[in-house]
Amino acid sequence: MNLEEQVVHSITDERYRQNEKWGMQRHDYGTWLTILVEEVGEVAQAMQAQKGWGKDSDKDDLYEELIHVAAVAAAIAEQVLEENQN
């Protein structure tokens, strides 16, 4: 697999993991935005961790946190598609 395929594969795996954990999520956009921004915050934590900043409880796996952001964005996009079909 090339890099693009690896990343898309990771996002797809994360989408299935989210669905197993939470079921199919449907939220108002304000709620989605809080979920997405929380994940973006974890990306910032992981970037800070690479600099030796932050707290021990902070997220530290930058790749994983970026995949979370992409997967949440994908879940929102799925809802947008669904709404546009109705």
- For binding to Mg ion (CB under 5 A), which residues are involved? 39, 42, 65, 68
Nearer to Mg ion, 25 or 84 (CB): 25
Nearer to Mg ion, 2 or 57 (CB): 57
Nearer to Mg ion, 53 or 69 (CB): 69
Q: Assess contact for 76 and 26: CB atoms under 8 A.
A: no
What's the closest the beta carbon of residue 33 comes to Mg ion, in angstroms? Answer: 15
